[in-house]
Structure 1
Amino acid sequence: MDERQLRILRELGELGSVTAVAEALLVTPSAISQQLRLLQRSMPVPLTERHGRRLVLTDAGQALAGAAIEVETALARARHTVEEFVDRPDGDVSVAAFHSAASTFFPLLLRGLAAPGGPRLAFGDEDVPQDDFPRLTRDYDLVLAHRLDHAPPWPRTVTATTLLREPLDVAMPADHPLAVRPSLRAADVADEPWITVHDGFPVMATIEAIGAAAGRRLHLAHRINEFAVVAEVVAAGGGLALIPRWTTRPHPALVLKPLDGVRALRHIDVLHRPERTARRAVRTVLAELHRAAGTVTGRA
């Protein structure tokens, strides 16, 4: 049985005929009769009987129709509870981000949503390969993910909007011979040792593109995912690295140079399952993320 069938049974008891029930529910009499037959199949005793040309409820039918009132009341109460939950401005909202996005956006969210009565934030750092970001939307309301500018789009199972399209610059010590140049090409940096991410992470594809543009394989001296650690290793003379322009904290001993001739650009996208934004609190956090992105690039 389902809610609609119980309502039809209740209406039949009150209105007294299939035709009257059909008119009240704006459907055909045959549709009402079909639902009553389906309901009867799930019951061990007759729910209706004929009195002349009229279909009326049996004692069992009347008992079930009475119970239907309680069911409708409980369902109405449950819907109201859900509506209150969905519309709460101070609901819990979980946000995941990879490390450099977390260090940039988490403080901005805390400051931007600090007023009383706003969403209650719960953060998690998730440094995963690109293909694993969509799976995180099972556990978090919003997931900050990164992918290269020319990478395939995210799967249709998640909704994605772009917060930033962030250049990846070549980081080097301030006293490096290449530091005096306004920009660099692949051939300029192809013979240097490199510090880069592990396989499966987006920056690796740009490293490979630099090697392809220069016509030789780069020497990958170190594999480090955390850009704060990368910056320290570069500053100590461990090699060059690609570092995001806006979401990595500036290092006093480093300079960043743009790369010409290679598409060195990453998207920072926010992923979520479509139903998550039915909640007012989640929409509030999502809007604040987009506002915060403007402050990161200096647009706001």
Structure 2
Amino acid sequence: MDERQLRVLREVGELGSVTAAAEALLVTPSAISQQLRLLQRSMPVPLTERDGRRVVLTAAGRALASAAADVESALARARQTVEAFVEQPDGVVSIAAFHSAAAAFFPRLLRAEAAPKLSLHDEDVPQDEFPPLTREYDVVLGHRLDHAAPWPRTVAVTSLLHEPLDVAVPADHPLAAKRSLTPRDVAHEPWITVHDGFPLMATIEAIGAAANHRLDLVHRVNEFTVVAELVAAGAGVALIPRWTAQRHPAVALRPLRNVHTRRHIDALYRPERAARQAVRTVLTELRHAATAVRA
């Protein structure tokens, strides 16, 4: 049984005919009859009977109709509770982000006057593991490279940044004197890069392919703050995001030519989460924060 069938039973019992119930519910008499048949199939005893030209409820039907009123009242209260939750402007919104996005976006969200209460989390995972995180968090900040597969249709996406990835070199390195670099310029340098499986590795491989040289991957570090310190110490060169990574005074960033070195930073969420006003407010503040990050 379901809510529609119970409501049909109540209306038939009160009005005494299928036709009258159909008029009250703005449906056809055949639709009323079908709902009654479906409900009757799930019951071990008759629910209706004929009394002349009228359709009346049996004792079992009256008992079920009475219970149906309680069911409708409970469902109405549940809907009101959900509607209040959805429209609540200051409900807690959980957000997860990979490290550089967290550093760039979380402080701006916390300072935003319109932002609701936040529960912030770091999740540094491979690209295909960002969408499943939307089961656990209201909003997930994920990143993917230009040539990577798009996000699956199971998640909604709000685009935030299309960020360049620059080559980071020590400020006193000869390469720092150039305004831009090519794959051949950096192919013979020691490299600091992320672990296998993370989005940035595809760009590292593309640099080696463009230079026709296997890059020497000396250090594997995912946190860009640590990467910048290693570059400053002369441990090698690296790719570092232009806008979201913290600048280091001893590190120079130079754009790389002839290889696509941009990543998308997007807010991922399940479509139903955006029904909440608090989540919609967070998405608006994330877009404002993205404008500030680019600037």
The TM-score normalised by the length of structure 1 is 0.96
Residue number in structure 1 paired with 2:197: 200
- Residue 270 of structure 2 is matched in structure 1 by 273
Residue 161 of structure 1, CA deviation: 2.1
Look up the equivalent residue of 1:244 and give its one-letter code: P
Which moves more between the two structures, 93-102 or 17-26? 17-26
Residue deviations 1:182-208, cap 9 Å, x none?
111111111100000011111111111
Distance in 2 between the 1:261 and 1:246 partners?
Answer: 21
Residue 251 in structure 1 maps to residue 276 in structure 2: no
Which residue, out of 182, 188, 197, partners 1:185? 182
Aligned residue in 2 for 1:29: 29
Amino acid of the structure 2 residue aligned with 1:3: E
- Offset at 1:163? 0.4
Which secondary structure state, in structure 2, belongs to the residue aligned with residue 260 of structure 1? Answer: coil
Answer yes or no: is 1:128 the counterpart of 2:122.
no
CA distance in structure 2 between the aligned counterparts of 1:194 and 1:217, rounded to whole angstroms: 11
Helix, strand or coil: the match of 1:252?
Answer: coil
Q: Is the 8 A contact 2:158 2:283 kept in 1?
A: no
- Indicate the residue corresponding to 1:159 in structure 2: 156
The partner residue of 1:147 within 128, 144, 148 is 144
Q: Residue 221 of structure 1: SS of its match in structure 2?
A: strand
Q: Which residue of 1 aligns with 2:293?
A: 296
Gaps of 5+ in 1: none
Q: How many residues align?
A: 295
Which consecutive unaligned segments of at least 5 residues does structure 2 have? Answer: none
CA shift for structure 1 position 57:
0.9
1:230 to 216, 227, 234: 227
Question: 2:171 is matched with which residue?
Answer: 174
Query: 4+ residue stretches of structure 1 with deviation over 2 A?
Result: none
Specify the alignment match of 1:285 in structure 2: 282
Deviation at 1:61, TM superposition (A): 1.3
Please tell me whether residue 86 in structure 1 is matched to residue 83 in structure 2: no
- Conserved in 1, the CA contact under 8 Å of 2:13 and 2:55? no
Q: Counterparts of 1:210-221 in structure 2 under 5 Å?
A: 210-221=207-218
Distance 1:133 1:257 in 2: 29
Deviations 1:101-139 (A, max 9, x none): 0011000000014x6xx5210011001011111110010
Between the two proteins, what is the percent identity of the paired residues?
Answer: 74
SS of match in other structure, 1:154: coil
* Secondary structure of residue in 2 paired with 1:72: helix
Match of 1:103 in 2: 103
Give the distance between the partners of 1:157 and 1:127, measured in 2 at CA. Answer: 20
TM-score normalised by L of structure 2? 0.98
CA distance in 1: counterparts of 2:12 and 2:127, whole angstroms: 57
